[in-house]
Every structure is written in C-alpha cells, then in structure tokens.
Amino acid sequence: MNMQVQSPAQTGNTVSNAVLEVSDLCVTYGKVEALSNANLRVGQGQIVTVIGPNGAGKTTLLSAIMGVLGSRGRVAFDGSLEAVPEVEVMVSRGLGLVPEKRELFGSMSVADNLLLGAFQRHRSGKRDYAATQAEVYELFPRLWERRDQLAATLSGGERQMLAVGRALMAKPKLLMLDEPSLGLAPLITREIFRIITTLRQHGVSILLVEQNARAALRVADYAYVLETGQIAMQGPAAQLADDPRVIEAYLGLASKHQEMLAG
C-alpha cells in the first residue's frame, strides 16, 4: 500500500493564517524512526484530518506536537515557534488534546472532570470557568443530565463527549482529537462527527486523527495520509475521497462497514 509521496509545493495546505505549522518533524524510538520528516498545516477555522492504517504513526504525530514525546523538527503554533514543545506551555497557549484512551477520572463526577479542564486557565488568573462549563453543557446536553454521575458509570459515547468537553474547558485555539470514534456504536459515531463540525462553527480549529477514513474525509477541509511514519498523500479532503488510491486502500470493499459508521 505504498502511495507515491506528493510534493507539498503541489498539494500543500496553503492557508495564509495557519494556527499550526509542523515542519520536518521526526520521532525516533531507539533506532526506529516512527515519524519521518512530517510536514503539516492547520489553518484558522479548519478541520484537518490525518488518516492511515494502524501503526502508521498517527498518535505519535499528535504526541510530538503536544510535547508528550521528544522530537526533532519545527512546531509553530499560533505564531510562535516551539523548538522543543512542552506540554504545559502548549496547553497554556491554547493547544488541546483528547487522547485515544480519553483518560478521565472515573471516581470523579462529570462536573468535576470538566472543572479540571479549566485548571490551567484558573491558575493563570482567569475565572470564567462557570460560563465555559455552561457552553459545554449547551453543546453536550447529555453531560448536563449526567453532571452528578461518576465518569466511570458513563457509556462509551458519553465518555468521549466528556473528554472533548473537558478539553474545551481550556478554551483551546486548536483541538487535536485522537481516534474519537474508536469503539463507538454507529449512531454515537455520527453524533461525535456532528459535534466536530459544530466546534468549527464555534471558532475552534481541529486536527483529527481517525481510522474511519470515510467519516473523517466527509467532515474535513484538508487531509493527510500517513503511512509507515511518512506523509504519503495530501490534498483537499473531497479530492482525496475521490482518489482511486485512497478509495482502494481506505474506502473500498474492505472498508464498506465504514459507510454505516460515517452516516
């Protein structure tokens, strides 16, 4: 499934107001290069998706941008260049990450999990968490209904909503979502992707890593295909959705069940 690398000059996501610009990003585990010279851009108000098979390096890419993993290369976020991204700095400057495992505090209530998301803003002197929490409840009415329940008692879809809501409490300029549809029923998957589109309307830029290529390409403006640690293809999402190579690898008969999940 080796797709020919396309020149960024030909197909680059040429947005003038990039909120995130990643250049030649590399991550090495021992002697293995898990991510090799990745170049990626997310514009203000854009939904950009990274699709690819298991083990391609998608989660590694997000972790390196966030500063969770050490890397080489350049990460420019919201106008500032981060030679070596650090998690706390990136969060304080408006980068949010919803990890694949969601990492909620199961023994705490929904409301308290949300409040934890505002910790960094509270520490920097901002006291607007009540208004932000009200906005999250408006976006996720189910979280309002479950606000006093322990996070451990929520369904998979509700846990994903809580994970996204908690990230929104930090008022991110860019929200990175790692496999938001993983393990969710088709109906809930459709709801999550509807919410992703709504977030963009609220002014949040989104970098979406997703195995459900069909659903991801449907909501995204621009897409990158990551294979064995390298960007193999890129282009406007609608264009990639019609590309025979993408159809064969990700949207063909083998992925027919994704049609149901994409909704």
Q: What is the DSSP string of 70-98?
A: --EEEEEETTEEESS--HHHHHHTTEEEE
SS (H, E, C) 112-176: HHHHHHCHHHHHCCCCCHHHHHHHHHHHCHHHHHCCCCEHHHCCHHHHHHHHHHHHHCCCCCEEE
| pLDDT exceeds cutoff 90 at 53 | no
Read off the pLDDT of residues 147-188 as tens digits, 9 standing for 90 and up: 899 999 998 888 888 999 988 888 889 999 999 888 888 888
**Beta strands 47-51 and 222-227, pairing class:** parallel
**Beta strands 18-29 and 32-43, pairing class:** antiparallel
Read off the pLDDT of residues 201-216 as tens digits, 9 standing for 90 and up: 888 999 999 988 999 9
Q: Locate the domains of the chain by residue range.
A: 1-94+178-263, 104-171
CATH topology for 1-94+178-263? Rossmann fold (3.40.50)
Tokens of 133: 């929490």
Tell me if residue 38 falls in helix, strand or coil: strand
| pLDDT exceeds cutoff 70 at 6 | no
- Give the residue carrying structure tokens 């505090």: 105
Single pTM value for the model: 0.85
Do 97 and 173 form a contact (C-beta atoms < 8 A)?
no
Contacts of 17 (CB under 8 A, 6+ apart): 43, 44
Q: What pLDDT was estimated at residue 234?
A: 95
